[in-house]
Amino acid sequence: MNIPDPERMATNRLLSISIINALRRGTVPAGGLERIAVGLDVEESVIAKQLDYVAQGGADLKFIRGEYGCGKTFLVARALEIARSKGFVTAHVVISPQTPLHKLKGIYQQVCASLRTSGEEHAMKAIMDTWLFGIEERLLSVSGDDASVRDDAALEAATEKEIEAALSGISEMNSALAATLRTYYRANNAGDFAIAQAALGWISAEPNIGRDLKQKAGIRGDIDDSIAFIFLRGLVSIIHAAGYSGLAIAIDEMETTQGLQRNQREKGYQTLVQIIDAVDSGGMPRCYFLFTGTPALFEGSRGIRSLPPLYDRISVVQDDAFRNPRQPQIILPKFDTAKLELVALKVVDVYAGAYGEPDRERISHRFIRAMIRKITTRFGGRVDIIPRIFLKEFVDILDKCELYEDYNPHDAYDFDAEHLKGELKKEEEAVMVVTF
């Protein structure tokens, strides 16, 4: 007789609640995405195999292309979830006017700020400490009874040599990373946490780092666009040395680049050429890049097509009914009614894991279809626009059915868009049918 593990049941319930909480707020859940994913099996398999290759020391990338509402954000979140399950550290960068594609420093800064492992968010400190602790442990294990290494001062000196050796390739181009990490290590050992924090801040390209850190580390200036890529390579080396498979970076919403001046757009697209060439030449081992953008980014006059060397590198051979996600681009089709119905049914199952089995007669497949029609009608018949809004409304219905035995959504529910004022995204507002 199989007896459910209470601890596992509790973990599953907490994950179910976190998924439902995110859908209530109209956001993509932070975990458990496989439980509500629909129609992405082939794409997920391709990404998973790319990650396996990267974990063996390779490097790879993928561009995800699709209109608003096709599931780009969801697939990115799912890809990063898969990466973490395979031992990768992940990072998520959103391109914006504040973090444009042509500013490598800003991208590197967002990478550092968003580092995440399977067990921890904002994981920069944890990664550095794990790496340094691993160096100490290795030195102690090989020293045997050698008292000269087991002495604290000697161990510190030996560890600093290991830091320098581990980053020798990076130091040939820029020695500041190794110098700052030595300073971080010393400050931690001395209990000088202000300097230790400043060292991590400087490595992460944070602004306004004080002079004390720079004087102690013997460094000048700050990380800028010219050396950000070098530091990213150093970061990946440290991540792998700390025991992780590598680094998976999502660079999202690249379509904002089209709104910049021509010289800035071209510099941004040249940044992509630089990354692609580094991946293909073996210059970014154990690093995986995932980029997203709308069709206009790839085919528009202000998009990637305007830089032929970039367009040639990532264009697809054929875009037909038999999409090939192994090509540089994964082209996502628009979300349709059938997929949204399947997602709704999966959400019901997740809700059951969070709060107990709902009344499936009240939340029937027939009601789900009727609800989709009611919402879609107010958005110009565009099913691809409504998934976020629909799921937020749907969780509200599930809550009311769970809280009130006499609540009948077939009779009580009618979509009223008034309460959405102020929270609609521009793409949703653009197709919304105005009623008088």
Q: What is the mean pLDDT of residues 304-310?
A: 94
Between 132 and 160, name the one with better pLDDT: 132
β-partners of residue 116 are 90, 121
On the CB side of 216, how many CA atoms lie within 13 Å of its CA? Answer: 20
The predicted pLDDT at position 1 comes to 40
The predicted pLDDT at position 5 comes to 65
- pLDDT score of 315 more than 50: yes
- pLDDT score of 170 more than 70: no
What 3-state class would DSSP assign to 218?
coil
- Lowest mean pLDDT across 143-147, 279-283, 325-329: 143-147
Q: How far apart are CA 2 and CA 8, in angstroms?
A: 13
- pLDDT score of 118 more than 80: yes
The predicted pLDDT at position 3 comes to 47
Q: Which of 242-246, 357-361, 378-382, 411-415 has the highest mean pLDDT?
A: 242-246
Q: pTM, whole model, 2 decimals?
A: 0.86
Instruction: Please check whether residue 248 is in contact with residue 83, taking contact to mean a CB–CB distance below 8 angstroms.
Output: yes
Q: Which two tokens stand for residue 250?
A: 């999502």
Q: What is the band of 436 on the pLDDT scale with cuts at 50, 70, 90? A: very low
Residue 121 phi/psi, 5-degree rounding, is -95, 165
Cα three-residue angle 143-56-175, rounded to 5 degrees: 60
Instruction: Please check whether residue 290 is in contact with residue 90, taking contact to mean a CB–CB distance below 8 angstroms.
Output: no
- Where are the chain's structural domains? 29-117+244-331, 124-228, 337-431
pLDDT, mean over the chain? 88
β-partners of residue 91 are 249
Instruction: Please check whether residue 94 is in contact with residue 57, taking contact to mean a CB–CB distance below 8 angstroms.
Output: no
- Cα-Cα-Cα-Cα torsion 50, 53, 57, 59, nearest 10 degrees, comes to -30
CA distances from 428 to 128, 253, 322, 331, 431 (A): 42, 17, 29, 21, 6
Assign domain 29-117+244-331 to a CATH class: alpha beta
Q: Any residues with CB less than 8 A from the CB of 435 and at least 6 apart, and which?
A: 378
Between 250 and 413, name the one with better pLDDT: 250
Q: How far apart are CA 257 and CA 250, in angstroms?
A: 16
Between 105 and 30, name the one with better pLDDT: 105
* Torsion 285-290-296-297 (CA) sign: negative
Instruction: Please check whether residue 251 is in contact with residue 107, taking contact to mean a CB–CB distance below 8 angstroms.
Output: yes
Of residues 352, 394, 399, the one with CA closest to residue 375: 394
The predicted pLDDT at position 82 comes to 96
Q: What is the mean pLDDT of residues 248-270?
A: 95
Instruction: Please check whether residue 91 is in contact with residue 251, taking contact to mean a CB–CB distance below 8 angstroms.
Output: no
Q: Which residue has the tokens 């590197």?
A: 108
